[in-house]
Amino acid sequence: MNDTQRPQFKRADHVSLTVADLDAAVAFYTEVFGASLRYRMGPFDAAEIPPMDDGRDWTEAHVNVPGARLNIAMLQLTDNLGMELFQYERPADTAKTPPRNCDIGARHLCLEVADVQAAVDYLQRHQCRALAGPIVSEDGPAPDSLSWYVLDPFGNQLELVQYT
CA–CA distances in Å: residue 153 to residues 24, 28, 78, 124, 156: 9, 8, 20, 10, 8
Classify residue 164: in a domain, yes or no.
yes
> Quick one: DSSP state of residue 125?
T
Predicted local distance difference test score (pLDDT) of residue 72: 96
Do 80 and 120 fall into the same domain?
A: no
Classify residue 101: in a domain, yes or no.
no
Range(s) of the domain holding residue 136: 107-164
Q: DSSP for 55-104? A: S--HHHHHHS-TT-EEEEEEEEEETTEEEEEEEEEE-TT--SSPPPTTST
Lowest mean pLDDT of 55-69, 95-109, 139-153, name the range: 95-109
Q: What is the pTM of this model?
A: 0.89
* Backbone φ, ψ for residue 18 (5° rounding): -95, 130
Inform me whether the pLDDT recorded for 112 exceeds 60: yes
Do 13 and 87 fall into the same domain?
A: yes
Classify residue 135: in a domain, yes or no.
yes
Chain segment 14-67, per-residue pLDDT in tens? 999 999 999 999 999 999 999 999 999 999 999 999 999 999 999 999 999 999
Q: How many domains does the chain have?
A: 2
> CA 48 from chain center: how many Å?
27
Do 117 and 140 fall into the same domain?
A: yes
Inform me whether the pLDDT recorded for 4 exceeds 80: no
Do 128 and 83 fall into the same domain?
A: no
Predicted local distance difference test score (pLDDT) of residue 15: 93
Of all residues in the chain, the percent with pLDDT exceeding 70 is 98
Do 17 and 69 fall into the same domain?
A: yes
* Share in percent of the chain as helix, strand, coil (round to 5): 15, 35, 50
